[in-house]
Chain A
Amino acid sequence: MGRYEGDPEWDDVAPIPQDDGEGALAQIAYTDEYAEAMSYLRAMMAAKEHSQRVLDLSEHIISMNAAHYTVWLYRAATLFALNADIEQELNWVKDIALENQKNYQIWHHRQLLIDHLYPTISSEPRALQQLAESEISFMTEMFNEDSKNYHVWSYRQYLVRKLNLFNEAELKSIETLLRSDVRNNSAWSHRFYVVFSDPKNTTPGSRATEHDPKIPDEIIDREIEFSKAATFEAPQNQSPWNYLRGVLRKGGRKLSSQECFASEFVKIPEDGEECIRSSHALDFLADVWAEEGKIEKADEALLLLGDKYDRIRKNYWEWRRGMVKEEGVRKGLE
């Protein structure tokens, strides 16, 4: 006899077995325990019942299959219908998340919970701060397992927006992660978001790839210095190079404003062999030189990339050479 079939609490429910269709493809041989629990969930959903026993049932199913979006969504609806204790739920979900690193649904569930909780505490600064601290410490635990977990980072962006965490503490916590792995591109991306979506200093709706005139110069300068310092640690790390380009674009500054810096990693003497410590520096300089109309120098850099320093991308570098020449011809005609 199954767990629910013999339980008087469930006596009034007629379970709905799964209809898999005839000769179903990729049919899963469920355990009896899972099949029974799911048949009771189908009955609950059909009756639109939201009750404590639905919470117990969904907890049981999630323990067997945490990647079940229907169960999560129905559980959330039930929690809200019952006006259940959200903080207790947040704690319970923590453990599930730590056990299921790759799971999508948990993070959406958590957002629903925070959305629901937020209006009830939005006028209490202490409660908000406690919530932020506890969420961030939980994410730190998650990042100890996988510091590039896409779902956790997306949730982090949501939380920064929701709780207005565009602040020094958030930048510091990113720096801690970058100190342990300066190649953590997820942390770099998050920094870009925190700096360039901060409503205090930015134009609402400004796209990531466009100039935002509202950003103060000192912030642009600070971020340039931040990326440079990281580049010196490992010049072939592409993350800070991409970051630098992003910052310059946001600040509406020319790449050539950083020619000196990029030249630290690239020596191309008139005669004798060149010394290249970063292919990304060479890529950057190719754009600088194209920007300055130094077509031959740009072409030489792109050739070096395709022939020697980044050969797998030869076709791309060749395409860039074509673009630079075309641009040169166009400028020449003006």
Chain B
Amino acid sequence: MTFLVRGQKHRRKVVFERRAMAGSDASSSASKSVEDAVSGSSQNRQPHLAEPSSRLGDEVVDSVFRSQRVATMSATAARASMVPDLFTSPPHIRDLLNTQSSQIQEETIQECLPFLSGIEPGASYNDYGVPHLERKHHIQFLHKSLKKLPAPYVAADASRPWMFYWALAGLSALGEDISQYREPLISTVRPIQNVTGGFGGGNGQMSHLAPTYGIVLALAIIGGKEALDVIDRRAMWKWLGALKQPDGGFQVSVGGEEDIRGAYCAAVIITLLDLPLELPRDSPAWTNEGATLLTGLAEWIGRCQTFEGGFSGLPDAEAHGAYAFCGLACLCILGDPHVMIPKYIDVPRLISWLSARQYAPEGGFSGRTNKLVDGCYSHWVGGCWPLLEACLEGPSRPSVGESQSQAINLYSREGLIRYILCCCQDRTKRGGLRDKPSHSSDSYHTCYVLAGLSSAQHKWHFNPTETRIETSGNLASSYQWTCEPFVGDGHIYDEEDRVGTLHPVFVIPEGAAEKTRAYFVSKGGF
């Protein structure tokens, strides 16, 4: 996906031998072929990530690993039977016409099947054929991402503040104490703020909504007066005024592009910091009819819905998973989900498109029609479901266990959780989560895969009766969400593998947004 600027992806080719396609009647033969593929790489419990020149022939693989395979065969067969054939066999209908899109899709299925089938030698699985969450390794991975980074990270020089947010959100979801980062975070972000308002990618860089969003969320996660007081709210408000456009949207930086990321990031900042909505007099969107920071914003978001039903990054482009979350979450800041979403969006078309993002056998989400699954869409697409479910259900409250079956449940939580735990974990000592098995873990994927896991493991309610903070200010809707563990379909993980809750709109630990907002409300104007 392309939500932000990152270093080059280090995609390494997985060199599974291509297999004959298993027929829909033969999940056992599919398991057999994926087992072969895995045993060719059992040394490191990873697919064989070598250059094609080092490809092993099937015969070599067979002779080297035969003894091991015989030994694990009975356990493997038993485990394979716990995995529904939906996740071990190819799709029911496939066209004969071969194009680049269908070819890489087929390769991705072959890449994922060994991981989904519960037959990795030496790995430990639960009763559902699902591996455990490697919590300790992922925690170590995220801690490491905040330490000094080598020179090739220069490509991230303008997006570094994201790393603070990804690591702190991920660590919080994993239940790790992050208070050790309070002082370093404060002294790190201070020189990144500009006197003209907002934060840049680093010291001396122009302010930009993406790093500003990352830093505001990181400070909200860390919490406390000293951290929150770093933010110059008055300058922030002035700067947001300069970004606001007459057509309703926001530029990401002065003179920069206008897109739906800008809209979402701006809305998050305005509500969390409880900024006044009136426009500064020098804003390009200022009118003498009293236009505000929010004038035309929901309509602008509505213009990003495409004929497919999803959202594009700006009007007229292609529907894309990351932009769907930005659009929906922005609407859920501007008002109540059951009011705002149907008012500006064709909901049935959106749900149809969003639902089509989930693939089998992989179980995970893709970002666009005819593109591949990627772990980060566990959040960008997966995170849309709580917002849409709340849109359809209207105000609701946590049930006590049994009545949760009344709730609307629009996707396969089991599929997503299987993809996450089977395919997205780097289960070597390195840790971290990833796009798909052939990719390296990074902190971006670690954060958003965990956010998706959290969302699949919980049920959110938009619950105005249980408002936690005083709602007299502007934009109070997004502080009225409550949560409970999800029971039912998809409970294929052990309790120890449940991660913490992340707010469905802000994607920071439950309670952090409410506290941040309450702090700034209590401070009043600037």
Contact = CB atoms under 8 A, between A and B. Distances in A.
Interface of A: 16, 18-31, 34, 38, 41-42, 45, 64-65, 67-70, 73-74, 76-77, 102-105, 108, 111-112, 147-148, 150-151, 153-154, 157, 180-186, 188-190, 192-193, 196-197, 207-209, 233-239, 242-243, 245-246, 249-250, 276-279, 308-316, 319, 323
A238 B369 contact: yes
B77 interface: no
B318 A234 contact: no
B408 interface: yes
A182 B96 CA distance: 13
B160 A276 contact: no
Contacts of B93: 236, 276-279, 309
B525 interface: no
A233 B97 contact: yes
A104 B294 CA distance: 26
B90 to A, nearest CB: 12
A315 B385 CA distance: 12
B191 A20 contact: yes
B411 A28 contact: no
Report the 3 A-B pairs with minimum CB-CB distance, sorted nearest first: A246-B307, A183-B101, A312-B360
Given A70-B200, A238-B356, A316-B355, A28 B412 contact: no
Nearest to A197: B316
B157 interface: yes
Interface string B198-216: 0011111110100000000
B209 to A, nearest CB: 11
Interface stretch (B140-148, B397-405, B450-458, B464-472): B140-148
Contact of A20 (B8, B147, B203, B305): B203
Given A25-B181, A65-B154, A311-B360, A189 B2 contact: no
Given A64-B154, A154-B314, A316-B410, 6 more contacts: A25-B184, A102-B2, A207-B303, A209-B307, A308-B92, A312-B360
Contacts of B145: 26
Nearest to A31: B151
B522 interface: no
B415 interface: yes
Give the one of B150, B204, B352, B408 with max A CB within 10 A: B204
A319 B5 contact: no
21 contacts: A20-B203, A21-B189, A23-B183, A26-B146, A26-B153, A42-B204, A69-B5, A70-B158, A77-B255, A102-B9, A104-B257, A151-B2, A186-B368, A189-B312, A209-B305, A236-B93, A237-B95, A277-B93, A311-B360, A313-B358, A319-B351
Interface string B279-322: 00000000000000000000000110111110011101111100
B306 A189 contact: yes
A147 B6 CA distance: 20
B86 A311 contact: yes
Contacts of B204: 16, 18-19, 38, 41-42, 45, 70
Given A189-B318, A197-B316, A69 B308 contact: no
Contact of B184 (A23, A276, A313): A23
A28 B188 contact: no
B380 interface: no
A18 B203 contact: yes
B428 interface: no
B255 A76 contact: yes
Contact of A236 (B95, B167, B316): B95
A104 B4 CA distance: 8
B363 interface: yes
B347 to A, nearest CB: 11
A28 B2 contact: no
A28 B360 contact: no
Interface in B8-23: 8-9
Contacts of B410: 315-316, 319
B300 to A, nearest CB: 12
A21 B189 CA distance: 8
Interface string B95-128: 1110111100000000000000000000000000
B371 interface: yes
A24 B371 contact: no
A29 B314 CA distance: 36
Given A19-B191, A279-B93, A314 B412 contact: yes
A242 B203 contact: no
B185 interface: yes
Contact of B256 (A73, A151, A279): A73
Contacts of B352: 316
B349 A209 contact: yes
Nearest to A313: B355
Contact of B318 (A18, A185, A235): A185
Contact of B151 (A30, A196, A235, A314): A30
A23 B351 contact: no
B369 A208 contact: no
Contacts of A277: 93
Given A69-B253, A70-B158, A309 B92 contact: yes
B492 interface: no
Give the one of A42, A64, A208 with max B CB within 10 A: A208
B359 A312 contact: yes
Contacts of A42: 204
B94 A236 contact: yes
A104 B5 contact: yes
B444 to A, nearest CB: 12
Nearest to B92: A309
B154 A185 contact: no
A73 B189 CA distance: 22
B370 A102 contact: no
Contacts of A65: 154-155, 157-158
Contacts of B307: 189, 192, 196, 208-209, 242-243, 245-246, 249-250
